Amino acid sequence: RASSDPRPLAEPLTRREVEVLGLMAQGRTNPEIARELVIARPTAKTHVERVIRKLGVSDRTQAVVRAIDLGLVGTGPS
């Protein structure tokens, strides 16, 4: 499948960041991510910010689109 942005990640995502990314792809908010992963809200926010930075995008929606392009998250039903 052709990617709109095939550049590999300069810095790989951690296992936790991939987990957070999956929840972002489901449309979860930071407080929902925090509850789901049993972490503090500021920690969830930090994970989201790092995911966005590492993917080289500027917001959550772009992060999910880039993650789908890279095959980091699926597009099937959750």
The answer to whether residue 2 sits within a structural domain is no
Q: What total number of domains does the chain contain?
A: 1
Domain holding 49, by residue range, is 15-70
Alpha-carbon span 61 to 45, nearest angstrom: 15
Residue, of 55 and 74, whose pLDDT is higher: 55
CATH number at residue 53: 1.10.10.10
User: In whole angstroms, how far apart are CA 50 and each of 55, 76, 77?
Assistant: 8, 25, 25
Contact call for residues 21 and 13 (beta carbons, < 8 A): yes
| 30 has pLDDT over 90 | yes
Predicted confidence (pLDDT) per residue in 9-25, tens digit: 888 999 999 999 999 99
pTM: 0.85
| Type of residue numbered 24 | M
Task: Say if 63 falls within a structural domain.
Answer: yes
- Say whether pLDDT at 1 is over 80: no
DSSP 3-state of 33: helix
